[in-house]
Amino acid sequence: MAENGQIQSNGNKDEALSIFSKYQSSFARRLKKPEAMSMLMTEFNLTESEAQIFFQAFDKDHNDVLSLWEFRQFYQTIGANAHDMIELFRKLEEQDGSGTVDIERAFEALKNVDSGKGKLSEDEIAMFLKTTAGDSKTIDLHKFLNMMCRLKVYKGVE
Q: Which residues are paired to 115 by β-bridges?
A: 118
> Are 32 and 74 within one domain?
yes
- Among the candidates 78, 106, 121, a domain finishes at 78
60, 78, 96: which is the final residue of a domain? 78
* Rounded CA separation 13/127 (Å): 37
Q: Is residue 134 part of a domain?
A: yes
Question: What domain range is 50 assigned to?
Answer: 15-78
Whether 61 is covered by a domain: the verdict is: yes
> Quick one: which H or E segment has residue 115?
strand 114-115
Pair (88, 144) in one structural domain: yes
DSSP symbol at 120: P
Q: What's the average model confidence in pLDDT over 127-143?
A: 92
What CATH number is associated with residue 39?
Answer: 1.10.238.10
Q: Which of 61, 78, 95 is the last residue of a domain?
A: 78
Average pLDDT over residues 47-59: 92
Any domain includes 9 = no
4 falls within a domain: no
State how far the Cα of 59 lies from the Cα of 62, in Å rounded to an integer: 5
DSSP state of 96: T
2 in a structural domain: no
pLDDT of residue 6: 40
What percent of the chain shows pLDDT beyond 70? 91
